[in-house]
Amino acid sequence: MNRFLSIATAAALCLGAGTAFAQTQGKLKVGFMLPYTGTFAALGTAIENGFRLYADENGGKIGGREIEFVKVDDESEPSKATDNVNKLIKRDNVDVIVGTVHSGVALAMAKAAKESNTLLIVPNAGADAVTGPMCAPNIFRTSFSNWQPAYAMGLVAAEKQKHKTAVTLTWKYAAGDESVRGFKEGFESKGGKVLKELSVPFPNVEFQALLTEIAAMKPDAVYVFFAGGGAVKFVKDYAAAGLKDRIPLYGAGFLTDGTLEAQGEAANGLLTTLHYADDLGNPKDKVFRTNYAKTYKLQPDVYAVQGYDAAQLLATGLAAAKGDFSKRDVVVKAMETAKVDSPRGAFTMSTSHNPIQDIYLRKVEGKVNRNIGLAAKALADPARGCKL
């Protein structure tokens, strides 16, 4: 009897170990929640492309694990965000969520991820709160906070460009508001003055009335936050209104990233600030750009880089746990202390899990965002309100 019991116990133990083994070695389920339609559609695709490129370069694996992907189109629609993220968490039971582009959607995702303790890697959305008051051990960002490029542009506009006054213009939502706030903080800290903050609802592209208002106000400079399809339309409208040669236009670099083919001559010469440029020329970037272009028959942009780095960060975490995702604290610790060898230049994570990174001043030359100098070195988001 005893003997039988012990055999049964041993069998049960074996079964247990076998299950754990299978869990470790089975596919890791990654849920992409990204915009595949609307003004940010191209951004979502670039992020997914970048993420997949890293897996392709590593035999289809991330941190030694086979990957299964599931996808949700979030449409950059905050009102659908909670339902959409719960499809990934509750229906699909994903291990990791990668998303998204739009700050309003990302805020709902961060809340759901925090409540369910699902690992979330944000590959774009800059919502300051994600690595501010909502920061959490299971939430990481491989992109930027809205404050980062905007604050750097404020410094450049005042110190390097010697502007005294500016008008700002953005879509009215978290990312635009925070971008304008960051610009204003940088600009006014160096003696500049923001005369007026203009906005249009997201994702509207009716700019005429506001361009007329700007022309009448004659500020020294204009600072804007637009991206994707809206950025294409804005840059063309600004030039068509005859403002480009009269009032210098500046932006967070999303204004001219992934958009230059469509913007054409209207973008030529524009100055923007961002954590990436098209001609950085470091060894990692060279390989990345070559492989991306070969795989997708497209030039990469900042969004592709951020997606690629989301995969690299996850790989670092998984590799530290030898692929065992159930060792969550080992995974998280490795992600927190990672030095990500990014095409943008290596970066580390702040204690709030946002990249500490160089912000480049870029100038559009033809179809290229050329790096013309550093706007801010190793800039860390202030992470106001984060307690980790």
Residues at the site binding ligand PHB, with contacts judged by CB under 6 A: 40, 101-103, 124-127, 146, 175, 227, 254
Alpha carbons within 13 A on the beta-carbon side of 180:
23
Q: Residue 23 corresponds to which tokens in the numbers above?
A: 């869990």
* Closest distance of CB 102 from ligand PHB, Å: 4
Non-local (6+) Cβ contacts of 131 within 8 A are: 139, 141, 145, 350, 352, 353, 354, 381, 383, 386
CB closer to ligand PHB out of 65 and 362: 362
For tokens 């005893």, the residue is 2
CB closer to ligand PHB out of 61 and 233: 233
CB closer to ligand PHB out of 175 and 280: 175
Distance (Å) of CA 26 to CA 29, 95, 163: 9, 12, 57
Residue type, 376: A
* Closest distance of CB 146 from ligand PHB, Å: 6
Element of type H or E holding 70: strand 65-73
* Closest distance of CB 16 from ligand PHB, Å: 44
Residue type, 34: L
CB closer to ligand PHB out of 63 and 228: 228
- The gap from C-alpha 187 to its chain's centroid, in whole angstroms, comes to 24
Cβ-count burial 95-127 (b if 16+ within 10 Å, e if not): bbbbbbbbbbbbbbbbbbbbeeebbbbbbbbbb
* Closest distance of CB 142 from ligand PHB, Å: 13
* Closest distance of CB 276 from ligand PHB, Å: 12
Which neighbouring-strand residues pair with 274? 360
Pairing of strands 271-274, 355-365: antiparallel
* Closest distance of CB 347 from ligand PHB, Å: 17
Taken as a whole, the chain contains a residue count of 388
* Closest distance of CB 69 from ligand PHB, Å: 22
CB closer to ligand PHB out of 254 and 288: 254
Element of type H or E holding 358: strand 355-365
CB closer to ligand PHB out of 84 and 316: 84
CB closer to ligand PHB out of 238 and 325: 238
262 exposure class (CB count in 10 Å sphere: 0-12, 13-18, 19+): middle
3-state secondary structure 318-334: HHHCCCCCCCHHHHHHH
Contact indicator for 112, 90 with CB cutoff of 8 Å: no
CB closer to ligand PHB out of 272 and 342: 272
CB closer to ligand PHB out of 143 and 342: 143
Contact indicator for 67, 10 with CB cutoff of 8 Å: no
Contact indicator for 95, 119 with CB cutoff of 8 Å: yes
* Closest distance of CB 114 from ligand PHB, Å: 18
* Closest distance of CB 65 from ligand PHB, Å: 29
CB closer to ligand PHB out of 103 and 312: 103
* Closest distance of CB 40 from ligand PHB, Å: 6
d(CA 319, CA 300): 26
Contact indicator for 124, 303 with CB cutoff of 8 Å: yes
- Residue nearest ligand PHB, Cβ-based: 227
